[in-house]
Amino acid sequence: MSKGYIVIAQNNKTVDYLEQAYALALNLKLTQSTVSNLTVCVDANTKALIKTKHKKVFDHIVDIPWNDDAENQPWKINNKWKFYYMSPYDETVILDSDMIFPTDVSHWWDMLSERDVWATTNVRTYRGDVVTSDYYRKYFVANDLPNVYMAFFYFKKSELASELFAMIEIIFQHWQRMFYKYMPKGKPAWLSGDVAFALAMQILGIEEQCTKPLANNFPTFVHMKSHVQEIPATLIEDDWTKSLPTYYNNYNDFKIGNFQQLLPFHYVEKNWMKPDMVKQMEKEFGF
């Protein structure tokens, strides 16, 4: 069974998602013992930016099929329903491009393979505590949606995953109507991938097959959105990097505040990944 990670990298006017995905690919190659494959999915404009260095670390570079649903969108998430069809693997974990892994989590795949779909439902603060704040998830709570996160989302090529992604496609293509119909207690005014994936599970009645709420320790990741860190709002800015110091030695040895990071790290703020961090990984990789 082939296994690997997958991301979408679609650059916009302000963020170089291709460079983020490149940093993630380098990081996976340096930290993961068995599963370090990363497939990147790109539009035509981003594909034109691909260089030799990218080809050396990306295992597959896939053209986003069936037109670019995010072509005119500043926030490039509209193609996320296509992951099932873009993945070259039998078993896939969806990641966000703005992540790095400080430790090896290859052993997770053996447990993930026990299910056809396994969504992360518990994420961590930089201190390692389970996030309990609903600051960014009030629509989830109000509508009793599964508390799923797409930034680490496992699926196997299977009947269950096929059914789920077919429903996700419908929601992505008609998100305003679907949110209005199925989220009577409040809904976002924008397309949210996490909401769409959660709503698909709820509509299909497959939450129990796709989540394992008691598995707080796995799968998980550190989610660096500011207002879930259990810090008073007056003491942390919306951009957490302006409030919390980073002590960075290398890709597998860094602290946020005084806390060593051991889990997949979703840094969120694009300016956190500095060019010198990427250069350090390139050197370690052998460039």
Q: What angle do CA 95, 200, 101 make, to 5 degrees?
A: 15
Helical ranges in the chain per DSSP H:
17-31, 44-47, 52-57, 83-86, 108-112, 138-142, 159-173, 175-182, 193-204, 207-210, 275-285
What mean pLDDT do residues 207-214 have?
87
What mean pLDDT do residues 90-108 have?
97
pLDDT category at 215 given cuts 50, 70, 90 is low
CATH number of 24's domain: 3.90.550
What mean pLDDT do residues 139-147 have?
96
Q: What is the layout of strands, in order, in the sheet containing 259-260?
A: 246-250, 253-256, 259-260
Residue 248, beta-bridge partner list:
254
Structure tokens at 25: 């690919």
pLDDT category at 74 given cuts 50, 70, 90 is confident
Domain that residue 188 falls in? 3-285
Q: Residue 216: is its pLDDT beyond 70?
A: no
pLDDT category at 287 given cuts 50, 70, 90 is confident
Q: Residue 117: is its pLDDT beyond 70?
A: yes
248: part of which helix (H) or strand (E)?
strand 246-250
pLDDT category at 25 given cuts 50, 70, 90 is very high
**Other C-beta atoms within 10 Å of 90: how many?**
13
C-alpha 25/C-alpha 31 separation (Å) is 10
What mean pLDDT do residues 56-67 have?
97
Q: How many domains does the chain have?
A: 1
